[in-house]
């Protein structure tokens, strides 16, 4: 329900689309780990995640966006640490690198219905 007590449809990312976009990110990270440096890989992953959030971060979808960013962080951490036989990052170092790159935060970017009819006073 809305604040005024009316019913509304909540837009949410389907589990299928969420899984597909995470799989695409994992496939990209697996291919990019041997081609890109760690910093460049983080920057490009940031752009990909920000693009996903620009489309899916609407008013009622914050839970799915949080889930996407959580799993995307884990995927990027996994594939960056498989670049060589040594471990590239610990979790603390990885979080520091994410802050340095300016990792996107899941926040509502748009209201899906900006052209609602104004209520009469």
pLDDT at 28 exceeding the cut of 50? yes
pTM of the model as a whole? 0.82
pLDDT at 120: 45
Query: How many domains are there within the chain?
Result: 1
Is residue 117 in a domain?
Answer: no
pLDDT at 114: 60
Is residue 111 in a domain?
Answer: no
Tokens of 110: 């748009």
Is residue 10 in a domain?
Answer: no
pLDDT at 119: 54
Alpha carbon separation from 104 to 14, 51, 91, 115 (Å, rounded) = 21, 10, 17, 27
Is residue 2 in a domain?
Answer: no
pLDDT at 115 exceeding the cut of 70? no
- The residue ranking higher by pLDDT, 109 or 102, is 102
Task: Determine phi and psi for 110, rounding to 5 degrees.
Answer: -155, 155
Cα distance between residue 78 and residue 115, in whole Å:
43
Is residue 6 in a domain?
Answer: no
- The string of pLDDT tens digits covering residues 68-87 is 999 999 999 999 999 888 88
Cα distance between residue 60 and residue 111, in whole Å:
9
Confidence label for 5 from pLDDT (cuts 50, 70 and 90): confident
Domain that holds residue 41: 15-101
């Amino acid at each position: 329900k809305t604040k005024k007590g009316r019913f509304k449809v909540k837009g949410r990312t389907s589990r299928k689309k969420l899984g597909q976009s995470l799989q695409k990110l994992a496939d990209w990270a697996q291919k990019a780990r041997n081609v890109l440096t760690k910093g460049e890989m983080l920057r490009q992953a940031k752009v990909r995640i920000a693009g996903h959030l620009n489309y899916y971060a609407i008013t009622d979808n914050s839970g799915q966006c949080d889930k996407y960013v959580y799993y995307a962080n884990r995927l990027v951490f996994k594939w960056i640490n498989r670049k060589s036989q040594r471990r590239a990052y610990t979790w603390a170092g990885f979080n520091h690198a994410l802050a340095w790159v300016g990792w996107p935060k899941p926040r509502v970017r748009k209201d899906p219905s900006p052209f609602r009819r104004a209520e009469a006073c």
